[in-house]
C-alpha cells in the first residue's frame, strides 16, 4: 500500500475549495512512492515569520489550544475512570475572554478559529504568505470502510480518538471535506452512543459512532470504533484536514474505545507493535509497524511508559543547560500534536534561571527570551544518553524585528498535568527519532542520522 501526501491532496476534486482558499497548502515538494508501512509527512517549520521574528500571535493561539486539549484529555480520563483524575493532575480553567482576545488579534483567520487544538495548529501565515497547515501538523491518509473511503487526518500522540466528517453532515464546514458514508461501506456497523466535544465558547463537534475497517499505510484494523461528525463548526472549513487519528491510550478516549493502533496491535495487524516518528524539515515520516533504520543510529534507548494516564508519559527525565543538570526525576509527555514544549511555571523558571541573559518577555503566556547570539545548549536525558535540542529547534525567532533577543521553545504554562511534568511537542520531537512501542509499553529515543 502506497501513500502519497500532500500531492494526493492536490489531485483531489473534493479539495478544490480548501485548496483555493489556502493556495500554498499543497505546495510542499511532491513525495515519491513510499515503501509499505510508511507515511511521508509534510515539511515542518517553527513559529517563525518571514522576517525572522517569532510569531507571537500564533503562539498565543497554540497555548490556548494546548490548554484546551489537555483539559479535554483530563475530562475524558475523569469520565472513563468514574470521576477521578490522574494523580497530581487537575482541570485548569481557561478564561474564555483571554482565548477570544488571543484569537481576535491581527490575523483574520484566527478570529473564529475553533478552540480545538488539532485544528488551531493549522493556519494561513499572513506574514510569510505561506500555509502553515502542513507545517505544523502531522497528517496523512487513512481509509475507512469497504471499499475504502479516504480521509486526510492528523496523527496525534496526545489524543486517542479517530473522527472524520459524516456524509450526513449538513454543516457548511463539511462541504469542503471528505465525508464518511456508512451506507457505502459493506463493513460498517452502527454503534450506540454519540460523540461530542464541547468547546469553551459553547460550540461543539458532534456525531454518531460507527465501527468499520480502518487502513493506515497498509495496516488494516477491523471493527474500529470511530466517530463520523455531523455537526462541524465553520472554523473547520478552511482546513484541508478532515479529521484526527489519535495515537494515545484508551483512558483518554471520548469514544471509550481502543485507538486505531491499539486495535492494530491486538488484532496482530502489525508484526512489530510500534510506530515511529521522524520529524525534520524535509522528509518527515511516520513509520507504522516498527522503525526505519535509515533514519536513526542505533541503539534505540527504550524507557517505560506509564500509560495509565492515557499519554505517552515517560518518567525519570532530567534536563541540562550548558552541560549542567538543572532538574531531574520529572515526567515528560511526548505529544506529536503540540508544537512547542510546556512546563509548570516553577520548573520553567528554574530552567531559564540557568540560561545566561534569559528573561520573561510575556509573563501571561509564559514566554521567555534569551540573547539570540547565545542559544542555550539544552539536553534531555531519561537516564541514558543526552539528547540535545538544536539551536534551530529551540530558537523560535526574534522577539521583535531586528531584536537581539529570541523566544525560547519552552514556555511556562500550567496545563493541569502536575508540577513535575513537561509536555514535549514538536520542538523536542525534531531532535531525536521516536519509537512509540506498545509491545514494550515504552518510548524509544535514538539519535538522528
Ligand X SMILES: *[C@@H]1O[C@H](CO)[C@@H](O)[C@H](O)[C@H]1NC(C)=O
Q: Which residues bind to ligand X, rule: CB under 6 A? A: 29, 106, 108, 126, 167, 181, 183-184, 188-190, 203-204, 231, 281-282, 316, 318, 328, 346, 383, 401-402, 419-420
Smallest distance, ligand X to C-beta of residue 258, A: 21
Smallest distance, ligand X to C-beta of residue 129, A: 7
Q: How many CA atoms lie within 13 A of 19 on its CB side?
A: 14
- Nearest to ligand X of 271, 294 (CB atom): 294
Residue with cell 454543516: 171
Smallest distance, ligand X to C-beta of residue 126, A: 4
Q: Is 154 a catalytic residue?
A: no
Distance separating alpha carbons of residues 152 and 282, to the nearest angstrom: 20
Give Cα 152 to chain centroid, integer Å.
14
- Nearest to ligand X of 281, 449 (CB atom): 281
Three-state SS at 83: coil
DSSP state letters, 352-392: HHTSTT-EEEETTTTEEEEETTS---EEEESSSSEEEEPHH
- Nearest to ligand X of 103, 265 (CB atom): 103
- Nearest to ligand X of 126, 292 (CB atom): 126
Smallest distance, ligand X to C-beta of residue 323, A: 14
Helices H / strands E in the chain, number of each: 10, 26
How do strand 284-288 and strand 359-362 relate by DSSP bridges? unpaired
| Contact predicate 422/331, CB 8 Å | yes
Three-state SS at 169: coil
Three-state SS at 307: helix
Smallest distance, ligand X to C-beta of residue 14, A: 12
φ/ψ of 130, rounded to 5, equals -110, 155
Smallest distance, ligand X to C-beta of residue 270, A: 27
- Nearest to ligand X of 284, 339 (CB atom): 284
Select which of 57, 154, 156, 258 is catalytic.
Answer: 156
Smallest distance, ligand X to C-beta of residue 400, A: 8
Distance separating alpha carbons of residues 184 and 337, to the nearest angstrom: 31
- Nearest to ligand X of 63, 188 (CB atom): 188
196 contacts: CB under 8 Å, gap ≥ 6 = 204, 205, 206, 207, 254
Alpha helix segments (H runs only) across 82-128? 96-104, 108-111, 117-120
b/e 150-168 (16+ beta carbons within 10 angstroms → b): bbbbbbbbbbbbbbbbbeb
**Residue number closest to ligand X, CB atom:** 383
Smallest distance, ligand X to C-beta of residue 383, A: 3
- Nearest to ligand X of 31, 291 (CB atom): 31
Q: Is 156 a catalytic residue?
A: yes
| Contact predicate 232/254, CB 8 Å | no
Q: What angle do CA 289, 293, 296 make, to 5 degrees?
A: 115
- Nearest to ligand X of 56, 250 (CB atom): 56
What do you get for the CA distance between the two ends of the chain, in Å? Answer: 26
**How is residue 48 annotated by DSSP?**
B
C-alpha cell at 244: 484526527
Select which of 242, 335, 362, 426 is catalytic.
Answer: 335
> What burial class does residue 110 get, using C-beta atoms within 10 Å of its C-beta: 0-12 exposed, 13-18 middle, 19+ buried?
buried
Catalytic residue annotation: 156, 335
Amino acid at each position: 500500500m502506497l501513500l502519497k501526501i500532500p500531492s494526493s491532496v492536490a489531485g483531489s476534486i473534493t479539495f478544490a475549495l480548501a485548496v483555493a482558499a489556502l493556495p500554498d497548502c499543497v505546495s510542499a515538494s511532491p513525495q515519491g512512492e513510499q515503501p509499505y508501512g510508511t507515511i511521508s509527512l509534510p515539511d515542518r517549520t517553527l513559529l517563525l515569520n518571514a522576517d525572522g521574528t517569532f510569531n507571537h500571535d500564533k503562539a498565543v493561539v497554540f497555548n490556548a489550544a494546548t490548554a484546551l486539549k489537555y483539559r479535554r484529555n483530563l475530562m475524558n480520563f475523569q469520565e472513563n475512570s468514574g470521576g477521578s483524575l490522574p494523580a497530581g493532575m487537575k482541570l485548569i480553567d481557561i478564561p474564555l475572554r483571554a482565548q477570544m482576545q488571543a484569537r481576535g488579534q491581527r490575523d483574520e483567520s484566527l478570529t473564529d478559529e475553533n478552540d480545538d487544538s488539532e485544528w488551531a495548529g493549522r493556519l494561513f501565515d499572513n506574514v510569510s504568505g505561506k500555509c502553515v497547515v502542513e507545517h505544523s501538523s502531522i497528517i496523512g491518509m487513512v481509509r475507512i470502510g469497504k471499499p475504502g473511503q479516504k480521509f486526510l487526518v492528523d496523527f496525534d500522540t496526545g489524543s486517542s480518538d479517530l473522527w472524520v466528517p459524516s456524509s450526513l453532515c449538513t454543516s457548511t464546514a463539511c462541504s469542503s471535506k471528505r465525508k464518511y458514508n456508512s451506507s457505502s461501506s459493506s463493513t460498517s456497523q452502527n454503534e450506540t452512543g454519540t460523540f461530542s466535544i464541547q468547546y469553551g465558547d459553547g460550540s461543539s463537534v458532534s456525531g454518531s459512532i460507527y465501527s468499520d475497517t480502518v487502513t493506515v499505510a497498509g495496516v488494516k484494523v477491523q471493527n474500529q470504533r470511530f466517530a463520523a461528525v455531523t455537526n462541524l463548526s465553520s472554523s473547520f472549513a478552511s482546513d484541508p484536514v478532515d479529521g484526527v487519528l489519535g495515537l494515545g491510550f484508551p483512558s483518554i478516549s471520548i469514544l471509550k474505545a481502543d485507538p486505531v493502533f491499539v486495535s492494530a496491535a491486538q488484532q496482530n495487524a502489525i508484526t512489530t507493535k510500534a510506530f515511529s516518528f521522524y520529524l525534520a524539515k524535509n522528509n518527515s515520516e511516520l513509520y507504522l509497524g516498527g522503525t526505519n533504520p535509515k533514519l536513526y543510529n542505533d541503539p534505540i534507548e527504550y524507557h517505560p511508559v506509564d500509560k495509565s494516564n492515557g499519554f505517552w508519559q515517560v518518567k525519570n527525565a532530567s534536563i541540562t543547560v550548558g552541560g549542567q543538570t538543572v532538574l531531574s526525576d520529572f515526567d515528560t509527555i511526548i505529544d506529536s500534536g503540540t508544537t512547542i514544549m510546556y512546563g509548570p511555571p516553577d520548573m520553567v523558571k528554574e530552567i531559564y534561571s540557568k540560561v545566561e541573559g534569559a528573561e520573561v518577555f510575556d509573563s501571561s503566556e509564559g514566554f521567555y527570551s534569551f540573547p539570540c547570539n547565545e542559544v542555550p545548549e539544552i539536553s534531555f536525558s531519561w537516564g541514558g544518553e543526552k539528547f540535545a535540542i538544536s539551536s534551530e529547534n529551540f530558537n523560535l525567532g526574534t522577539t521583535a524585528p531586528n531584536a537581539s533577543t529570541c523566544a525560547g521553545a519552552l514556555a511556562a504554562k500550567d496545563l493541569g498535568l502536575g508540577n513535575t511534568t513537561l509536555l514535549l511537542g514538536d520542538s523536542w520531537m525534531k531532535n531525536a527519532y521516536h519509537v512509540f512501542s506498545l509491545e514494550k509499553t515504552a518510548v524509544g529515543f535514538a539519535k538522528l542520522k
